Amino acid sequence: MMDTEIDRALLEKIADLIGKPVGAFNIRKDSGCDGRQSTEHIEITSKTDGKSGIDIRVKDGTVGETCHIPVIITKSGVEEMVYNDFYIGENCNVDIVAGCGIHNCGDQTSRHDGVHTFHVGKNSRVKYTEKHYGEGDGKGGRIMNPETVVYLEEGASIQMETVQIRGIDSTKRNTKIVCGKGAEAIVTERLLTHGEQVAESDMEIVLDGEGSKGRVISRSVAQDRSSQVFYPRMVGNAQCFGHVQCDSIIMGDAKIKSIPAITANCTEAQLVHEAAIGKIAGDQLLKLETLGLTEEEAEDCILKGFLA
């Protein structure tokens, strides 16, 4: 586990891991298991239905535990489809740390497609973090296509943070969350593209239960000749509240399309959306440059703050 410097650097980037994780974990490397550990309250097992992936079962009442399930690809030409299913019991409060890192120094495409499905029990809280990162000086592509599906039972909540740090040539992100009575979903998406990269995010939050809440906060930066498309949707089927906010910074010859949508199927649904795309303001750059930063340093400072 974590045999090479490349392994260690990728795991630190995508999962903040330094050394062996504490608690439950499953580390996937180049389509195989590179290390696994269950705990008294969190059990991780290989799937038995013929699909590649794992099942994670969290017992009722589990509180304060973290489960790491990062994926790294260090070889050119590795392409995989992985299915991970989470079964969170009732009255839990747990953190799930995922993420995928690709190091490709070859000419073949390396690709990771993953489907994560969450079944979150009554009154449970889940914090889910997923970071994506690519590197390597080869000509082969670095592609990631994550799909996340969440079902929240009564009083349950998920706080979901997805981050694309840098280096992913192509990504298509699909997210769907269904909220039951009194359930809450908060999704924060941060994405950076550069060069010729393309990114598409398709997201749907369905507020089915009375008193359910949903919030989407999307922030992105598109540099050079990269392109991005965002399609976040909030659907209110009961007395509920939903808010969608998309903010993007566009640079160089990049292209960004943002299409937020809200649909109310109940007179008691309160839904709001807003979107903004623009360049870095000149007065922001000037202010930082008067403090001694170069234009490039000033831009980098602003972008880091925007995506923080």
Q: What is the mean pLDDT of residues 261-266?
A: 97
Q: What is the mean pLDDT of residues 243-272?
A: 95
Least trusted range by pLDDT, from 2-6, 30-34, 55-59, 275-279: 2-6
The better pLDDT of the pair 46, 300 is held by: 46
pLDDT over 70 percentage in the chain: 99
The overall pTM is greater than 0.95: no
Contact (CB, 8 A) for 244 and 201: no
Q: What is the mean pLDDT of residues 2-25?
A: 89
Least trusted range by pLDDT, from 22-26, 131-135, 259-263, 302-306: 302-306
* Residues 216, 201: Cα–Cα separation, whole Å: 12
| pLDDT of 289 over the 80 cut | no
B/e letters for 179-206, b = 16+ CB within 10 Å, e = fewer, are: bbbbbbbbbebbbbbbeebbbbbbbbbb
| pLDDT of 166 over the 80 cut | yes
Query: Mean of the per-residue pLDDT values for the chain?
Result: 94
* Residues 160, 1: Cα–Cα separation, whole Å: 27
Q: What is the mean pLDDT of residues 176-192?
A: 97
What would the two tokens of residue 292 be?
């001694």
pLDDT per position as a tens digit, 203-214 = 999 999 999 999
Domain limits, the chain: 5-281
The better pLDDT of the pair 284, 181 is held by: 181
Side chain identity, residue 119? H
- pLDDT at position 19 is 80
* Residues 79, 113: Cα–Cα separation, whole Å: 8
pLDDT per position as a tens digit, 63-102 = 999 999 999 999 999 999 999 999 999 999 999 999 999 9
- Strand 42-46 and strand 53-58: the pairing is antiparallel
- pLDDT at position 298 is 80
pLDDT per position as a tens digit, 198-242 = 999 999 999 999 999 999 999 999 999 999 999 999 999 999 999
Q: pLDDT category, 280, cuts 50, 70, 90?
A: confident
pLDDT per position as a tens digit, 14-37 = 999 888 888 999 999 999 999 999
Tell me which long-range contacts 4-13 makes (C-beta under 8 A, separation of at least 24).
4/74, 6/74, 6/103, 7/34, 7/72, 7/74, 10/72, 10/74, 10/101, 10/103, 10/133, 10/135, 11/70, 11/72, 11/101, 13/101, 13/131, 13/133, 13/165
| pLDDT of 183 over the 80 cut | yes
- pLDDT at position 1 is 59
- pLDDT at position 59 is 98
pLDDT per position as a tens digit, 135-150 = 998 889 999 999 999 9
Q: What is the mean pLDDT of residues 40-50?
A: 96
The better pLDDT of the pair 307, 169 is held by: 169
